[in-house]
């Protein structure tokens, strides 16, 4: 079945540092790929998405490129802020009737001033 693997956290960075959170996936066919962010005490919010190979999703300074050859969708940001501290989830949506998202385990990011 489909699966998503992302780097375990926590990831601790200083403000303005470069961020990379790795995500790789296993799926049949051509899934859509997503990054969700969960701030403390809140539900998940869609951060960005990509629906086909070589697509780049971007939002709020975050970027991720759909790499079919390496089955990866790594999240990057050039300069993190304290307000980016949250848990980040990589997810895929395959060809299933329930629009089910398959999630990675989540990576907690802590940004220190």
Enumerate binding residues for another protein (CB under 8 A): 4, 8, 32, 36, 41-46, 49, 51, 89, 91, 93, 97-101, 103-106
Shortest Cβ 14–another protein spacing (Å): 26
**Of 78 and 105, CB closest to another protein:** 105
Q: Are strands 62-65 and 75-77 parallel, antiparallel or unpaired?
A: antiparallel
Shortest Cβ 96–another protein spacing (Å): 9
Q: Which string of b and e fits 58-85 if b means at least 16 CB within 10 Å?
A: eeeebbbbbbeeebbbbbebeebeeebb
**Of 43 and 113, CB closest to another protein:** 43
Question: Chain-centre distance of CA 26, in angstroms?
Answer: 15
Number of other CB atoms surrounding residue 53 within 10 Å: 11
Shortest Cβ 5–another protein spacing (Å): 10
């Amino acid at each position: 079945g489909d699966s998503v693997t992302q780097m375990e956290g926590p990831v601790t960075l200083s403000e303005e540092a470069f961020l990379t959170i790795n995500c790789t996936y296993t799926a049949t066919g051509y899934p859509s790929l997503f990054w969700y962010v969960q701030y403390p005490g809140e539900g998940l919010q869609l951060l960005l998405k990509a629906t086909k190979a070589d697509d780049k999703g971007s939002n709020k300074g975050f970027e991720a490129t759909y790499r079919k050859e390496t089955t990866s969708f790594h999240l990057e940001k050039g300069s993190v802020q304290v307000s980016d501290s949250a848990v980040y989830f990589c997810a895929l949506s395959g060809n299933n009737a329930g629009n089910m998202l398959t999630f990675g385990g989540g990576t907690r990011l802590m940004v220190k001033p």
